[in-house]
């Protein structure tokens, strides 16, 4: 019994360990695929800031937040790493990362914690200060600290450190160390056995070989990465693979394939809202056109990339775009504009201390200046390029810079110095080892083989997708046939019933627009027209034939309805809109064209005089829209209520002649003046000068109506 119990405990512990390992791998993938989502989740999970001067204090804080000390420490380590991720655009992120690193330093208790901290310090120096050379020792120290560690966390830290070291050496043009660390990164990743991470490592090596112009090796690694990524549903990995393949095909001068992959990558990054990576796609498209001599199209794509980098606040990327734009304008015969972009690029590279980029920018400025025979400027920047190239041990750049200097000295007729530079150039050229032909990796046949393998991988992926879709289509087709058979059994009966209901609905819709007593277009018709979004009226007018408001009692409903019908048609024909009967003697008009109150009063009087016009006219005019802000939508009930207010005001002026009153909200009027209770707020708006009142009577004699609930309130 005791042995069974111990076995169960052992199984439980192994299961828990396996789950924990899967969680750590899943987190690493999530950081690579959706760093912004992980960042937001961590911010929601942790109460910041966390301040502790000792491990005991930190354990107490972790307990208060519902975590074990190690759990909270791991979350803070991950959060610090994400602050240093280029996808995170958080205010003061570098200051916050620095504060968290100080906290982590005070609570680091083992080799892993210290190693992770050193990795963060290296990342911080590289990202915030662009001091890539100074960042390298921190990564080396991190690797030394965890060299003998065997846990999964340490393995993940090792492969991450090798990845960062490889990228740093690549940026610094140190190809051999970059290759060593990127291969170690791939080896460490294969030990983890995770398909996503292996695909990422293979793609990273492909990117390195592409930068080294070893295109067959690049295609080999990209092909493996693509094969693995096709087994996953990871949109960022897929889009990144498409971008890398676009770069390879660009370098292979396969322009059509390069543009195809670049456009597909751009769609993927756009769906993920990653403008930083969309910029790289635009740059690839620009280079494809530039390599074909289509400089105007290249400039357009570079400008698109520049706009994306500007929105992303990626200053180094902006500087690189300025450099590319300078080259494109120079090749396009516009040296003046080329200088403008190149000097902008120089300013950013100087401010970011990016000598590994600055050396090429100075070299290009020297080239443009030589072409323009601006010898002093060419001399200055070729010397700067030569100095940086010597420090960075870039032999090709040194040779090109010396060539420009020799041409400059000849242009200045300083022949002795020109001969001296040519001697240096000859010595340097002879000392530069010639690149041996790579008979294994750079032959046309192997390149073609790798391209074919890549195409086969793509075709297999499409075949698997089509087979899956075919199988799913068959199931859907069978289900659809069964469903159609069932539906057909009731469709005829439903069709008949539908026709009957449609006829009833049409009659009901027509009836709802008609005033029930007189059977003339009524209030509901007015509401439907006002709610329609197309061709809204420019004004609403409530017209009262004041002497006939009780005519339905005086002469009977039949005679009064006939009279109201003639009057409604007369009012409709004399205006640009529609007319509706609210009740006997009371009409509402929707006016399409703008009209003044005086003109409307005159038109209505002329129309009514032909059809039982022995009555006084009172009109409440409401120009539309009530508020100028199109985002604020007021209900039709508010429109009708405001029209009622203006009509009541017009009727308060008396019966000695026809009167109208209109109100219009001024531009600065708030929407609150049309809130409930409407009459109270409208009257307040009039008193405060928020509503403009117009009338053909005396404004001071208007008696604004009040509701019972506020008839005793002093508005002023």
CATH number (1.20.120.1200, 3.40.50.970, 3.30.70.270, 1.25.40.320) of 523-710 reads 3.30.70.270
Q: Are 212 and 175 in contact (CB under 8 A)?
A: yes
**How far is residue 645's CA from residue 642's CA, in Å, rounded to a whole number?**
5
Ramachandran class of 296: left when φ > 0, alpha when ψ lies in -120 to 50, beta otherwise: alpha
pLDDT of residue 115: 92
Backbone angles phi, psi at 665, to 5 degrees: -75, 135
**Residue 587 CB partners (closer than 8 Å, separation 6+):** 542, 543, 545, 567, 568, 571, 579, 580, 581
Low-confidence ranges of the chain (pLDDT < 50): 6, 8-19, 435-443
Backbone angles phi, psi at 75, to 5 degrees: -65, -40
pLDDT of residue 434: 52
pLDDT digits (tens, 9 = 90+) for 308-337: 888 888 888 888 999 999 999 998 889 899
| Residue 647 exposed, middle or buried by CB count within 10 Å (0-12, 13-18, 19+) | buried
Report the largest interatomic distance among the alpha carbons of the chain, rounded to a whole angstrom. 122
In 396-551, where do the E strands start and end? 539-545
User: In residues, how long is the chain?
Assistant: 716
Task: Please report the sign of the dihedral spanned by the C-alpha atoms of residue 83, residue 84, residue 89, residue 91.
Answer: positive
For the chain, the structural domain boundaries read 523-710
Question: For the sheet containing 659-665, what is the strand order?
Answer: 578-583, 586-591, 539-545, 617-623, 659-665, 691-695
pLDDT of residue 635: 85
Across the strands, what pairs with 580? Answer: 588
**How far is residue 42's CA from residue 19's CA, in Å, rounded to a whole number?**
20
Provide Rg for the chain, Cα atoms: 40
The H or E element that residue 628 is part of is none
pLDDT digits (tens, 9 = 90+) for 245-294: 888 888 888 888 889 989 998 998 888 888 888 999 999 999 999 999 89
Q: Are 447 and 219 in contact (CB under 8 A)?
A: yes
Per-residue burial over 462-478, b if 16 or more Cβ lie within 10 Å, else e, is eeeeeeeeeeeeeeeee
């Amino acid at each position: 019994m005791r042995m069974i119990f111990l076995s169960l405990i052992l199984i439980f512990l192994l299961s828990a360990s396996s789950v924990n390992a899967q969680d750590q791998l899943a987190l690493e993938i999530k950081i690579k695929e959706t760093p912004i989502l992980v960042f937001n989740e961590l911010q929601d999970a942790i109460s910041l800031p966390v301040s502790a001067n000792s491990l005991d204090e930190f354990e107490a804080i972790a307990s208060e937040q519902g975590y074990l000390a190690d759990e909270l420490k791991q979350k803070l380590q991950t959060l610090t790493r994400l602050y240093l991720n280029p996808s995170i655009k958080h205010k003061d992120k570098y200051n916050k990362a620095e504060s968290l690193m100080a906290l982590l330093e005070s609570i680091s208790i083992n080799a892993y914690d210290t190693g992770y901290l050193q990795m963060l310090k290296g990342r911080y120096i590289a990202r915030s200060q662009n001091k890539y050379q100074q960042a390298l020792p921190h990564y080396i120290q991190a690797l030394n600290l965890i060299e003998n560690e065997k846990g999964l966390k340490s393995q993940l830290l090792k492969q991450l450190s090798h990845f960062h070291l490889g990228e740093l050496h690549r940026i610094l043009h140190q190809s051999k160390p970059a290759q060593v660390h990127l291969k170690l990164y791939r080896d460490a990743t294969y030990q983890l056995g995770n398909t996503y991470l292996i695909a990422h490592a293979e793609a990273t090596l492909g990117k390195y070989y592409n930068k080294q112009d070893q295109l067959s090796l690049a295609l080999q690694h990209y092909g493996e990465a693509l094969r693995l990524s096709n087994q996953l549903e990871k949109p960022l990995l897929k889009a990144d693979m498409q971008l890398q393949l676009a770069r390879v095909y660009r370098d292979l001068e396969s322009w059509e394939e390069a543009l195809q992959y670049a456009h597909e990558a751009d769609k993927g990054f756009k769906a993920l809202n990653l403008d930083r990576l969309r910029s790289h796609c635009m740059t690839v498209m620009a280079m494809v056109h530039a390599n074909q001599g289509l400089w105007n199209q290249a400039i357009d794509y570079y400008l698109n990339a520049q706009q994306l980098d500007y929105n992303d606040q990626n200053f180094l990327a902006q500087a690189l775009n300025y450099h590319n734009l300078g080259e494109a304008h120079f090749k396009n015969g516009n040296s003046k504009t080329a200088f403008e972009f190149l000097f902008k690029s120089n300013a950013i590279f100087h401010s970011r201390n990016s000598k590994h980029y600055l050396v090429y920018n100075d070299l290009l400025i020297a080239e443009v200046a030589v072409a323009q025979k601006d010898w002093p400027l060419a001399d200055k920047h070729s010397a700067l390029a030569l100095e940086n190239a010597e420090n960075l041990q870039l032999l090709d750049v040194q040779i090109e810079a010396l060539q420009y200097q020799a041409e400059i000295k000849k242009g200045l007729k300083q022949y002795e110095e020109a001969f001296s530079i040519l001697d240096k150039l000859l010595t340097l050229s002879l000392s530069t080892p010639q690149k041996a032909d790579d008979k294994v990796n750079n032959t046309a046949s192997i390149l073609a083989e790798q391209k074919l393998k890549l195409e086969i991988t793509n075709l297999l992926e499409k075949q698997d997708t089509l087979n899956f879709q075919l199988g799913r289509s068959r199931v859907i087709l069978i289900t659809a046939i069964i469903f159609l058979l069932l539906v057909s059994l009731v469709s005829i009966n439903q069709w008949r019933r539908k026709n009957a209901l449609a006829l009833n609905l049409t009659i009901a819709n027509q009836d709802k627009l008609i005033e029930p007593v007189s059977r003339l277009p009524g209030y509901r018709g007015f509401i439907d027209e006002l709610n329609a979004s197309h061709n809204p009226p420019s004004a609403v007018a409530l017209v009262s034939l004041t002497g006939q408001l009780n005519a339905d009692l005086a002469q009977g409903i039949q005679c009064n309805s006939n009279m109201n019908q003639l009057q409604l048609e007369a009012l409709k024909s004399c205006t640009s809109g529609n007319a509706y009967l609210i009740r006997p003697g009371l009409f509402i008009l929707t006016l399409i064209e703008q009209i003044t109150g005086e003109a409307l009063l005159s038109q209505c009087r002329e129309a009514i005089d032909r059809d039982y016009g022995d009555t006084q006219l009172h009109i409440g005019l409401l120009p539309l829209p009530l508020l100028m802000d199109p985002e604020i939508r007021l209900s039709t009930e508010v429109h009708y209520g405001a029209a009622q207010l203006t009509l009541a005001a017009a009727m308060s002026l008396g019966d000695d002649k026809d009167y109208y009153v209109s109100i219009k909200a001024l531009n600065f009027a708030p929407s609150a003046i049309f809130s409930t209770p409407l009459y109270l707020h409208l009257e307040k708006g009039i008193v405060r000068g928020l509503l403009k009142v117009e009338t053909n009577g005396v404004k001071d004699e208007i008696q604004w109506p009040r509701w019972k609930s506020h008839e005793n309130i002093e508005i002023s």
